Structure 1
């Protein structure tokens, strides 16, 4: 018996000699009395007769397996009942079982398609990852190559402004000052390229120490004073001597650059009115608010504003900038246990950035170590007079 069944596992069926032709080619159910009608070939007629006697088979039913409009095969049912004894319910049950098998075939086909699609997506993701990695490496190399000549240019411009090469006429000073401003902007862009490559490679270093956050805001105010004046904008910022110090344990340069990126973004998209920057210190957190009266932000763009290479649009719909500053600012502030959020009522309504740094984050960093007086010395601008003092 086992030998007979094994001989039917793989064979080529000559349809002309077998009733399964109608089942497989015409998609019709076949009900016959002899096993040889559907099993010979591949079995010999004598073998099928022997098998039919041993199993006491009276009726053979062959039903096509359909899946997605195609015939995938057939199921052969055998019964000890005669054909006339089979009930409609039994035939319906055979049809139902065959339909279930057809559904399994369909699911297998769908699974193969999904598997193929999944593999294609994996391949596409890998290609995108490789492209992004190459782009980050290019940005890093380009930024490093630009840094050295930029430093030289800024150095000579500073010497010119300081009068090291002679007294400048007013129009000369104005042009050189504008060159210096643009060199600073290009330096920020180069630094952004480097920071992005480091962030993407998980190599962004945060070197923490104590510093006064007021000093950082003072430096930012001074850095943008010329730019704001040239655009006929106001830059509202006031620090009173009574404000004291707001000490932060973090990377002063990184936080400075992050805030620079936000202020630069606000000034870039403001043509009328101005920008306001303020600092609030509480027991639990430090809040920096930067507000502008610029072109505003479409509510649809708020969710992606801090994504990499997302650029805002100036008046008239033209995209501007490299789309890196806000992305880097968010990453840096988050690395200090803080967060950034932005609000805007829409086009032409300006925007407000709120940067929150929780004191708990840097209190945990130092593990409760006492703060020494020598660590309170201003590190960014020695001797800078507070605004509004």
Structure 2
């Protein structure tokens, strides 16, 4: 590259730039500069070190304040306590005359001061309990606060009344009238946001203008805002959860009281109905047997309908009484050693006429192995087994109902398999809840109450057993099974030992408590 093509070493001055007269430097002048050079360098280095140390001090002070604020947010339980400790710490560390934290209700367009602090003892005296008595303030009454909430951006203000409640401004005036000479006329309002929502505002007021604040002071404020916003969100969420929990506790107590009253009503009403119905059925039976004279052929079907209706009502009342006893803890188990095989055989024999009426094949399969006895309340377990077989007959329109006894995983297992309507996905868990009748059960049979299986599950549970239901699908049949520990098993009840066992109150999901 030729000399003409080389770029200039310095930027070229414009042609019209004023020409400075060149000072002639003497040898003595150069000697003087050489002698003074070390001192100038030393001064420049000293100034730079002082500046860096000042910056480091600010950063350390900020970190200490952030640690303090974090400790406060973790320790305080209430928003008011947390906010008050935070404004006190900020005011002292950053030397601001007024620091406030306010909660904003955007939907209501209202805000409320929750804490105010100062680095001036006189103002702290005036500020004591000011926020406690302050009502909610419409955002429109403080235009600068409203602008910060609306825009989500910080704002400078030179009007105290535009950023503080009137009571707070009056407290500052009161301190000045006492000769304190405190004039925090300059304010900076910062939004406390979490996500897209403004939770509150943080306001600083000072006698110096915030527009002249250093970059490091702004960095400090940025860290403070983020920490307080997160702490405020967590504290507000915690208080909301506490409030909701308290409301749920009250509601739950009321529901328990209502449930208790309902159980008492069922018990009283059922007993009052049971006695006259029993007498009614007794007299109908006597009429049908001719105790009051001969009856005509036309009267027989009418009396038969009356007898069956009275019987259904009595069975319904028995179910209601069982529910009442279960939920009030008054159903006692009278335990004895019994053979489920013999109970199953007798039930099949008893219910065979019902199956024949519907042209169903009801069959008991003799077990291929020895089935041990179980320790149970025979009346209650018989009630459960009868419920299984009777339901299978009711909800099977054609085909068969098969009853099995077996040993499965060391448990005595009674199962009933039918070719009825089956179950859809998700219906199994609904079967054992009170007054629950899944799918089209009401269309197939209108006599049930939805209580039988609920009661059955509570009874089996208290015998330390288990009830299950399976179905390949709708219109593909259903299998109900009951498992009980054999007599002598470590989990089995014992004859005579628990003669006064009481079934505990059922829980809200229809499952017995342990």
**Gap regions ≥5 residues in structure 2:** 1-119, 135-141, 149-153, 159-163, 498-514
1: distance between equivalents of 2:298 and 2:389? 28
Aligned match of 1:352: 479
1:44 equivalent in alignment to 2:176: yes
Aligned match of 1:248: 374
| 1:173–1:319 CA distance, 2 compared to 1 (3 A) | closer
Out of 337, 346, 354, which is 1:219 matched to? Answer: 346
Deviation at residue 5 of structure 1 after TM alignment:
3.0
Aligned match of 1:121: 248
Aligned match of 1:232: 359
1: distance between equivalents of 2:304 and 2:460? 31
How many residue pairs are counted as aligned between the two chains?
Answer: 348
Aligned match of 1:333: 460
User: Which is worse superposed, 341-350 or 307-316?
Assistant: 307-316
SS in 2 for 1:270: coil
**Gap regions ≥5 residues in structure 1:** 14-20, 33-37, 369-389
| Contact map agreement 2:418 2:477 (CA 8 A) in 1 | yes
| Contact map agreement 1:299 1:345 (CA 8 A) in 2 | no
CA RMSD of aligned residues (A): 4.1
Aligned match of 1:148: 275
2: distance between equivalents of 1:282 and 1:115? 48
Aligned match of 2:419: 293
| 1:171–1:260 CA distance, 2 compared to 1 (3 A) | farther
Larger Rg: 2
Deviation at residue 121 of structure 1 after TM alignment:
3.0
Normalized against structure 2, the TM-score is what? Answer: 0.57
2: distance between equivalents of 1:316 and 1:11? 66
| 1:304–1:153 CA distance, 2 compared to 1 (3 A) | same
Aligned match of 2:115: none
Deviation at residue 101 of structure 1 after TM alignment:
2.4
| Contact map agreement 2:375 2:493 (CA 8 A) in 1 | no
Equivalent runs, 1:1-389 vs 2, <5 Å? 2-9=121-128, 24=145, 26-27=147-148, 28-30=154-156, 40-44=172-176, 47=179, 49=181, 62-67=188-193, 68-69=197-198, 71-76=200-205, 86-156=213-283, 159=286, 180-238=307-365, 246-281=372-407, 284-314=410-440, 320=446, 321-359=448-486, 360=489, 363=492, 365-366=494-495
| Contact map agreement 1:214 1:245 (CA 8 A) in 2 | yes
| Contact map agreement 1:24 1:73 (CA 8 A) in 2 | no
1: distance between equivalents of 2:480 and 2:437? 16
Deviations 1:235-255 (A, max 9, x none): 112559x98885322101111
| Contact map agreement 2:376 2:493 (CA 8 A) in 1 | no
| 1:5–1:167 CA distance, 2 compared to 1 (3 A) | closer
SS in 2 for 1:263: helix
| Contact map agreement 1:237 1:276 (CA 8 A) in 2 | yes
1: distance between equivalents of 2:400 and 2:464? 30
1: distance between equivalents of 2:130 and 2:366? 92
| 1:349–1:177 CA distance, 2 compared to 1 (3 A) | same
1: distance between equivalents of 2:370 and 2:305? 34
Deviation at residue 228 of structure 1 after TM alignment:
1.9
User: Which is worse superposed, 222-231 or 243-252?
Assistant: 243-252
Aligned match of 1:18: none
Deviation at residue 194 of structure 1 after TM alignment:
0.8
SS in 2 for 1:63: strand
| Contact map agreement 1:23 1:74 (CA 8 A) in 2 | no
| 1:162–1:11 CA distance, 2 compared to 1 (3 A) | closer
User: Which is worse superposed, 321-330 or 149-158?
Assistant: 149-158
SS in 1 for 2:173: coil
| Contact map agreement 1:234 1:275 (CA 8 A) in 2 | yes
Deviations 1:347-373 (A, max 9, x none): 1011001111111267552499xxxxx
